[in-house]
Amino acid sequence: MGSIKHRMTRYIASASSIKSGCFNLNPLKLGPLFPPFSFSHSQSSITLPRSSFKKLSIVSAMDVSVAEPSKELPVGLDSTMVEEYDSLSKLLLQFTSIPSINKAWVFKSNTGKDSKAMFSINQSNLLANKSRKSLISASIRKDGNKPINFEWSPFPLELSGVALMVPSPSGSKLLMVRNPENDSPTKLEIWGPSALEKEFHIPQSTHGSVYSDGWFEGVSWNSDETLIAYVAEEPSPPKPMFNTFGLKSESSSDKDCNSWKALGDWEEGWGETYVNKRRPTLFVLNVDSGEVRAVEGIKNSLSVGQAVWAPSPKVSQQKLIFVGWSSDSRKLGMKYCYNRPCAMYAACSPFNELAGDDADHRCNKDSGVVILTQGINSAFSPMFSPDGKFLIFLSAKASIDSGAHSATNSLHRIDWPTDGNLNLSSKIVDVVPVVMCPGDSCFPGLYCSSFLTNPWLSDGRTVILSSIWGSTQVILSVDILSGYVLRLTPHDSTSSWNLLSLDEDNIIAICSSPVEVPEIKYGLLHKESSTSASWSWQDVSGLAFKCSKEVESLLSPLQFSIMKVPVRDGSEGASKPIEAIFVSAKREKSDSCNPLIVVLHGGPHSVATTGFSKSLAFLSSIGYNLLIVNYRGSLGFGEEALQSLPGKIGCQDVGDVLTAIDYAIDLKLVDPTKITVLGGSHGGFLTTHLIGQAPEKFAAAAARNPVCNLASMVSTSDIPDWCFVESYGIEGIAHFTSAPTKEHLSVLYDKSPIAHINKVKTPTIFLIGAKDLRVPSSNGLQYAQALKERGVEVKIFVFPEDNHAIDKPQSDFESFLNIGVWFKKYCK
C-alpha cells in the first residue's frame, strides 16, 4: 500500500498545481474531464470517490518528503493545452455568470398611476450544477411626459426549491409550488402582501409533482380566487409487494427490510425530458378548505395540460378548459414536437356542488368531458378575452398534416356563450391563417407556442405576443376580430425582442443581439385615433444584465449583420434568399479575416435568431467570426420554404450551408483555409454530413448529440416518425412503422452522414449526453469510433447525466470550453 499512497500523492500534487479556473470550479465534483482517481496495485485497482479529495490533499501535505515532482497531467490534457484551458476557462466563467430574465409580472399600484413589477432571474450555479433562481422587484413610476422610471429593490432574493409562481387575478395573492423530493409531499403556498397565509402539503397518494415544463404545465386561479386548477402527475399505482414467503397479502407504506416492492408494468412516457414522469392529470385545490380533488370524467388514455377557468355567470357552473393529448396508441416524444394531435376539452369543476345553487343549475358532471375543437386536429394554449366573449387558441395543424415536428402555426377563435351553456357546434374562426409564401419584408406567419397569462390590451380584442420573423424575434399585436397583425418592435431593428409582460397598454420586453447582452425595454402605446396607434421604445435603466468589464471590452468591437444568401433552386416560396447571421470583429479591408465558425441549428424546423447567446458570444470573443445559417426548412420564412426540406435532408440543407459559406468567401469575409463547423442534433447531422461531403472545406468540427445514422436511430429514438418524415417527406407518414423494412433502412442509411464516412478527414470533437432519448448516445459514438478506425483525429466527451440538450451548467461549460480549445488547436 505504500506505493499506492506514493502515487496518490503525486497525482494530487500535479492536479493541484494547474492554475485553471475550470479545474478549481468544484474540487469535490470535477466532472467528466477528470475521471475518479484510479490507482493500480498488482492486479487490482482502487477507485477513490470524489468526496475523498480533501482527505487526499491532507495526506499529500503530510507526505511531501516522499513525493517527487511529477509532470503528470489530467486525462485529456497535454502541457501545450494547460495555458489555453486556463485562460479560456476564466473567460468562459465570466460569460456563464451573466444572468437572464425569463418571466415578469406587473401589478397595479395602490396609487393607481404607478405599477409594481416582479422579475424572475436565472443564473447558472456551476458548483451546484443547476440553475439558480431569484426574484427582484421594481416600482414603475409614470410622471406625465417624463421618461418611465424603474425604481429597483436593492438586491434580488434567491428562490430555493420553487418550481412555479402564479399570482392571483387581483394580484393580492401569490401561489408558490414546491415539488417533492423522493416520497415527500408537494407543497402549495398561498402568500399575501406581507406573509405566508396558507400552506398545503399534498401527499403522494393524491398526486405527484406539479408539472412546470412549460407545455403540460397549467396553473389557473378562478375569478373569485377560491379555487386553483393545476396539472400534476397522477398518483403512482399500487405495486405488488414480496417477502421471503412470497406475495404479501396487504401492502404497507411502512418501510420493511424483509420485503420489497415490485416494479410492475412498464409505464410508457412522453420521451425526452419526461422520463419517469407519470401521466399529467388535472386537479383542483379548494383554497378555503385545503381539499384537493381530481377533475372527473377524463379518460386514462388522455394526458392533459394548459388548464384555464372558463367565465361563468354562476359559481355552480364553473368549467375548466384544458388541452388533451390521446395516447391510445404509442406515445412518441413530445418535447419540441408540435405534430402530436391534441384537442381542447371542457369539464366541470369538482367543487361545483359546494356553491349552493340548485342541482338543476349546476354543471352536469354526468355529461362528461366535452371536446370543443372537433373540426381541427391541433388546438392548444387556450386563452379567454377579458370580457369572456371569446376563446382563442393556437394550432399546429400544418405540423400534423405534414408530419414536420414544427411548422407555421395558426390562431383561431371560438365565440363563447355568455350564459355558460356550451354549444358544441360553435364555429371555429380562423384569425391568423398559415402564411405559405410571404412577400419581401412581409409578415411570414405565426411562430409562437404560448401566450402570456394576460396578453390583452385594454380594448379587449388585441392580443400581444412574441413570434419569429426571419432571423429575428419580434413582438406583434393581433386583432382577434379582424385578424390584423402589426409588428410593434422597430422595423429597422435587427436585434431580437422577447415579450415579458404588459403594464396596462404598455409593454415590458427584453432586447438583445449576438454582440449585446440583453436589456429591458419599455414600449409605450400612443393612440393617434380610434383606429390607429404607434409605439415608442425606452431603455430601462438601473437593472442591467451585468457582465464583467473584460466581457464588455471583448464584445464592444464586434458587429453583426443578417446576410441574404441567394439559393439556386426551389419552388416560388423556397427559391427566395436564405438568411445567415454574420458576427465579426470590425476591421479594415486590408486586415486578415478571423477564423470562421459555421453554426448550425437543430430541428431542422427550428431557427437561430439574433438573440444573445452566452456560448456563441464566448466563441466570438476569443477571435472567431460566426456564420449562423438559417437554411431552408427553418422557422420564420413561411410554410412553403419550411416544407421544401422534408425528403431532401442531407442534400438541400447541406447545399444551403455550403452556398452560404461560398457567398461569404466571395465577399472576402472569410479565409477559406480557416473554417470550422459546429452543430447539435440536426445541426450535428449537418456538421457530420459537411465534413463527409466537403472533406477539404473544414479545419475542425464539433458535433453535439449529432444524428449520424438514421437507420440505427429509427429503432432507438423517442421520435422514430421524424426519421421517416425527414427522409421521405410527407409520404413518410404512410411509411412510418415500428418495424422498418430493409428498403426503409436502406433509404435511411443513404440519407445519413455515415454514408460519407470514408471521405472524412476533419478532426472532430463529439459532445454526447448519455441520457439522450432523442438521438441516443450510440448514434454519435458509433460514428466517432468509425472515424477513429479510419485514422481521423477524434475527441469524445460523454456527459453521464445529460439528455439531448446537454444543458446542465457544468456540462455546458465543459462543452464550450473544449470546443474553444479544439478549434484553436486546428484553426489558429
Give the Cα separation of 540 and 519 in Å (integer). 8
Q: Residue 82 has what pLDDT?
A: 85
Per-residue pLDDT at 44 exceeds 60: no
Averaged pLDDT for residues 66-85: 65
What confidence category does residue 15 fall into, taking pLDDT thresholds of 50, 70 and 90? very low
Per-residue pLDDT tens over the stretch 378-404: 999 999 999 999 999 999 999 999 999
Averaged pLDDT for residues 288-299: 96
Mean pLDDT over each residue of the chain, to the nearest integer: 88
- What is the helix (H) or strand (E) element at residue 733, kind and residue range? helix 732-735
So which residues are the catalytic ones? 681, 772, 804
Q: Residue 197 has what pLDDT?
A: 97
Per-residue pLDDT at 57 exceeds 50: no
**Which residues, in sequence order, are bridge partners of residue 132?**
123
What is the value of pTM for the model shown?
0.88
Q: Residue 67 has what pLDDT?
A: 39
Per-residue pLDDT tens over the stretch 592-650: 899 999 999 999 999 999 999 999 999 999 999 999 999 999 999 999 999 999 999 99
Per-residue pLDDT tens over the stretch 120-148: 999 999 999 999 999 999 999 988 778 89
Q: Which three cell numbers stand for residue 301?
A: 388514455
Q: Strands 794-799, 764-769: parallel, antiparallel or unpaired by DSSP?
A: parallel
Q: Residue 360 has what pLDDT?
A: 47
Per-residue pLDDT tens over the stretch 298-324: 999 999 999 999 998 777 789 999 999
The CA distances from residue 764 to 34, 673, 784, 806, in Å, are 20, 16, 8, 18
Averaged pLDDT for residues 41-48: 32
Among residues 337, 334, 405, which one has the least CA distance to residue 645?
405
Give the Cα separation of 151 and 203 in Å (integer). 41
Per-residue pLDDT at 37 exceeds 80: no
Give the Cα separation of 718 and 724 in Å (integer). 13
Per-residue pLDDT at 265 exceeds 90: no
Per-residue pLDDT at 785 exceeds 50: yes
Q: How many CA atoms lie within 13 A of 435 on its CB side?
A: 19
SS3 content of the chain, % helix, strand, coil (to 5): 20, 30, 50
User: What SS3 state is found at 247?
Assistant: strand
Averaged pLDDT for residues 679-686: 98
What confidence category does residue 531 fall into, taking pLDDT thresholds of 50, 70 and 90? low
Give the Cα separation of 176 and 164 in Å (integer). 6
How many DSSP H helices and E strands does the chain contain? 15, 41
Give the Cα separation of 335 and 530 in Å (integer). 42
Q: Residue 26 has what pLDDT?
A: 32
Higher-pLDDT residue of 219 and 44 is 219
Give the Cα separation of 187 and 189 in Å (integer). 6
Per-residue pLDDT at 17 exceeds 80: no
Q: Residue 293 has what pLDDT?
A: 97
DSSP at 745: H
What confidence category does residue 251 fall into, taking pLDDT thresholds of 50, 70 and 90? low
**CA 34 to the chain's CA centroid:** 28
For 112-139, give one letter per residue: b (16+ CB within 10 A) or e.
eebbbbbbbbebbbbeebeebbbbbebe
Per-residue pLDDT at 262 exceeds 80: yes
DSSP at 712: H
Share of the chain above pLDDT 90, in %: 75
Q: Please calculate the CA angle 330-326-724 and round it to the nearest 5 degrees.
A: 45
Among residues 132, 122, 253, which one has the least CA distance to residue 185?
253
Q: Residue 367 has what pLDDT?
A: 62
Q: Residue 28 has what pLDDT?
A: 28
Give the Cα separation of 704 and 268 in Å (integer). 27
Give the Cα separation of 90 and 86 in Å (integer). 6
Provide long-range contacts, Cβ within 8 A and 24+ apart, for 2-9: 3/41, 4/39, 4/41, 4/46, 5/59, 5/63, 6/63, 6/66, 6/67, 7/39, 8/37, 8/39, 8/48, 8/56, 8/59, 8/60, 9/59, 9/60, 9/63, 9/66, 9/67
Burial class (CB in 10 A: 0-12, 13-18, 19+), 673: exposed
Q: Round the CA-based radius of gyration of the chain to a whole number and report it.
A: 28
Q: Is the peptide bond before 604 cis (omega within 30 degrees of 0)?
A: yes
Per-residue pLDDT at 97 exceeds 50: yes
Averaged pLDDT for residues 791-812: 97
Q: Residue 314 has what pLDDT?
A: 79
Per-residue pLDDT tens over the stretch 469-478: 999 999 999 9
Per-residue pLDDT tens over the stretch 585-601: 987 666 789 999 999 99
The CA distances from residue 336 to 649, 703, 718, in Å, are 19, 20, 12
Averaged pLDDT for residues 220-249: 92
Q: Which three cell numbers stand for residue 439?
A: 412577400
Per-residue pLDDT tens over the stretch 345-377: 999 999 987 555 544 445 665 567 999 999 899
Which residue matches cell numbers 402570456? 452
What confidence category does residue 250 fall into, taking pLDDT thresholds of 50, 70 and 90? low
Averaged pLDDT for residues 106-131: 91
